[in-house]
Structure 1
Amino acid sequence: MAPTSETLTAARILEATEEVLRRHGPAKATVVDVARALGVSHGSVYRHFRTKAALREAVTERWLDRTSASLSGIAAGDRDPEARLRDWFTALFTAKRHKAGDDPELFATYMVLIGENSAVVDRHIADLTGQLTEIVQDGVGRGVFTSAAPATTARALFDATGRFHDPCYARDWEQPGIETEFDAVVELVLRGLRA
């Protein structure tokens, strides 16, 4: 084991864990593999993450949080709510397509990890629907959208567009015409929201 010159942080461990998962997959990746990649003992990794399950949960959360963070700026903007909503869904679809297409091995690994960490997924969905709620509330406040219950409407919007962000549809995302289908669904939900 080569000594490491950098301070061991949770972020470094999570980066190394992603690489180990990419190489070995979730079934074969171990904490010892992560420690070896970092040049530290596995006990050092366990000081940051008490169990292998906690490490896998943290990696999953970090992966999902990247999407949430990229969308939060769109949701919090001051532009026209309809344009923000369209941009938000476009950014979500684009992010999910890139995750599935750019690194299919890691995407497949994360699908396994997501199955193990339903609480992480639930928090992610709550964050995303919270962002949508913010846009819908702003639209209602400006008289652009109509909704008696913005949080319920936000969840319905999220569910209605599931084909374009739920990983179970990843195979569809590279099909010819998917962008046209996406645009049609987004236009339909926007039409239903307009005041």
Structure 2
Amino acid sequence: MRLLLALGNPGAKYRDTRHNIGWWLADRLAHRWGGGPFRVDGPTAWTTGTARPGVEIHKPLAYMNRSGESLARLLAERRFDARGFDPAADMLVLVDDVALPAGRFRLRARGSPGGHNGLASISASLGSDEYGRLRLGVGRPPDERIDLVAWVLSRMPRAEEEGALGAFPRAAEAVEYWLEHGVEAAMNRFNRLG
């Protein structure tokens, strides 16, 4: 079983914000793979796609900084642990990243949370930074006086949003390559282009 964990915040207030770009890509992947609507089951909303059996896409329903709590419950309540689930090989986190401009993405096999509260929560839950992540660019505030929290909880201007969405076909290919070949191979193939 493979797990795509898309980080974001629940609720209409946050749906279109930079922080939820992981959820946007999750929606795109579900559609691309012929998945049904996301259904709420315990700590997440999730779906699968007929084109990718054995892959589940999950959106934690806790707020971003508590994503790890949702993951811990998911792993305890579902079949991931029973089948030898290894987060380092079997999980990819879809997450926003202010260090990348909108329209760019990067795969990483491991690493510190880098100040991202969602990743910090995931790492705390797993007791490890050994899990893949697909970092989706949302850009930095144009002025250092702009509060970073306010920035990621705001909407992108139309041109930025179009740039971010324009990268999704290539990001989807990167996820599919990860599924087939693993994170290191996907990094080598896509990071220079993403």
TM-score bracket relative to the smaller structure: under 0.3
More strand as a share of residues = 2
Q: Higher Cα Rg: structure 1 or 2?
A: 1
Q: Which has the higher helix share?
A: 1
With a CA cutoff of 8 Å and minimum separation of 6, indicate the structure with the bigger relative contact order. Answer: 2
